[in-house]
Structure 1
């Protein structure tokens, strides 16, 4: 039976992946909301969707559909990070399951609040953690699981993705709204590392700024040197000419290639959710606790090992 969906944040960057996933899993998009009206992409998938730019009208429509026996089953949330908790809360109270982009929330306390709300409403929160479904990551996880149980792997994560001044003027550049660079960009990778290498054991911060962050992590089965930056001047010297990004994850010196293969991962996520196997609040807790610590931990550049490309960040 076709499921009915609502989409909150329909004009956002990630919304088209949700539209595609809803369509490819046989769903119907009953309603969509965004304060911006650049949502013509919906015509390619669901031209008859009711669209609202005022949340109060969207909320009234959702409740009216429920009262008429046409309850909406799922709410997909693609809004700025600081609004996730509010929109998840609305979804659960309106009788919908929530499907939310990462980071699910900004703090462990917000996770606790959502856990209480789940119990109160009987609803469910599902987080999109699509990197876990990537074939290269699944293969790596299987390889680690079958390997030497006593081995600790050496991992380097370097993620340099240049962003213009718009980034700092937007909600993404405000720590109170995005959580900062480690939360907004890094949380994807921290979750993936925990998924592959087990629970985090140590979390040292070497650098924390608006445009870059770096540190050292230990998981059950890995030692990780990491650096993230959105500053073009931080691109490593070995970045090819004309390239504005440099993304690398190595395990024991071997590059893990997963730059491709993302086109259907949201659809795979939706398929799991529809089968009752979505990633729940406890699945995201380790990465939320990790980024929460990164935001507040003391800066200790001489503890743990530094990522080799961190030198360029400091020099700039």
Structure 2
């Protein structure tokens, strides 16, 4: 399979996954010859600054879009018009209206559009979803989730205006996947400066409450930490993880019931590898996909945009 990877910023996370697979050929598009040279040196990929050549190449099967969000709609539609499958990074689009255009175009195209809703493939999240669905611990009553991220990718601004769509969205998505959209919500942010901030968000459902803590007010040495505490009528599931430790991802999922405490053995996985491997498996085998669809991404985008509005306009 030949893949056109668009973007030399966050695209480097996707490039590392493709480099581990001998069954793909990759060409990287970017505007900076210096950055492209880095991709060529590190991964051995072909590179180009000619975007037309990517879309005109009949050998390209999949266009992987890691460009700024305001360019997503344009390039998803262009890729579909060129007869290519698409993988798009989060957020799917800058507005619900553009996301709906993408959904309609994908459904009419005969090609497949995947969105990197990577937390849906996270092993602990999948266990959580299954526990909610099968009722093995009773009914979910509360979910407390946190994500704290230091600037491990460099000095990327992640202030109040970035929290909902670039820090919280993947976690909001896995909750929406299980519970749907909330009846009401309340969100409030605090800022350390223009590049670092935190937010507390509460989502209210008819029979459950969900609380999110998101923060970029931690130093690079802190790294990234994520977790949740899901309280059911008959037990608790608790996750703590650090996905980007030098020694590899660290993850602990524990179940607490009247019978005692049980450690649930799950293999830590790189989220981007899981998502990309899922996409390539669907394309090579023809397997259906119900996880990473534009429709699913539109629902969680709607929620994230509402929370973004609340965080950025609060007095």
Q: Name the TM-score class by shorter chain.
A: 0.7 to 0.9
Match of 1:295 in 2: 308
Q: Is the 8 A contact 2:92 2:298 kept in 1?
A: no
CA distance in 2, matches of 1:251, 1:114: 34
Match of 1:8 in 2: 6
Displacement of 1:124 in angstroms is 2.9
Go from structure 1 to structure 2 and tell me whether the alpha carbon gap of 1:14 and 1:196 turns closer, same or farther (over 3 Å shift). farther
* Paired residues for 1:225-244 under 5 Å: 225-232=211-218, 243=222
SS of equivalent residue, structure 2 residue 151: coil
Match of 1:32 in 2: 28
Which 4+ runs in 1 deviate beyond 6 A? Answer: 298-301
Matched, 1:62 2:55: yes
Match of 2:229 in 1: 250
SS of equivalent residue, structure 2 residue 9: coil
CA distance in 2, matches of 1:147, 1:25: 41
The two structures, once aligned, show a CA RMSD in angstroms of 3.2
Go from structure 1 to structure 2 and tell me whether the alpha carbon gap of 1:16 and 1:92 turns closer, same or farther (over 3 Å shift). same
CA distance in 1, matches of 2:312, 2:29: 40
SS of equivalent residue, structure 2 residue 156: helix
Match of 1:111 in 2: 99
Q: Is the 8 A contact 1:197 1:222 kept in 2?
A: no
CA distance in 2, matches of 1:284, 1:290: 10
Tell me whether 287-296 or 242-251 shows the greater mean CA deviation. Answer: 242-251
CA distance in 2, matches of 1:136, 1:272: 21
Q: Which blocks of at least 5 consecutive residues in structure 1 are unaligned?
A: 236-241, 302-316
Q: Is the 8 A contact 2:190 2:198 kept in 1?
A: yes
CA distance in 2, matches of 1:166, 1:44: 22
Q: Is the 8 A contact 2:144 2:229 kept in 1?
A: yes
Match of 2:252 in 1: none
SS of equivalent residue, structure 2 residue 3: strand
Q: Is the 8 A contact 1:163 1:231 kept in 2?
A: no
Match of 2:155 in 1: 166
Q: Is the 8 A contact 1:167 1:173 kept in 2?
A: no
Q: Is the 8 A contact 2:172 2:300 kept in 1?
A: yes
* Paired residues for 1:200-279 under 5 Å: 200-207=182-189, 211-219=197-205, 222-232=208-218, 243=222, 245-252=224-231, 254-259=237-242, 260=249, 261-263=268-270, 264-274=273-283, 275-278=286-289, 279=292
Aligned residues: 273
Displacement of 1:214 in angstroms is 2.0
Match of 2:166 in 1: 184
Go from structure 1 to structure 2 and tell me whether the alpha carbon gap of 1:217 and 1:18 turns closer, same or farther (over 3 Å shift). farther
Q: Would you tell me which structure has more strand in proportion to its own residues? A: 2
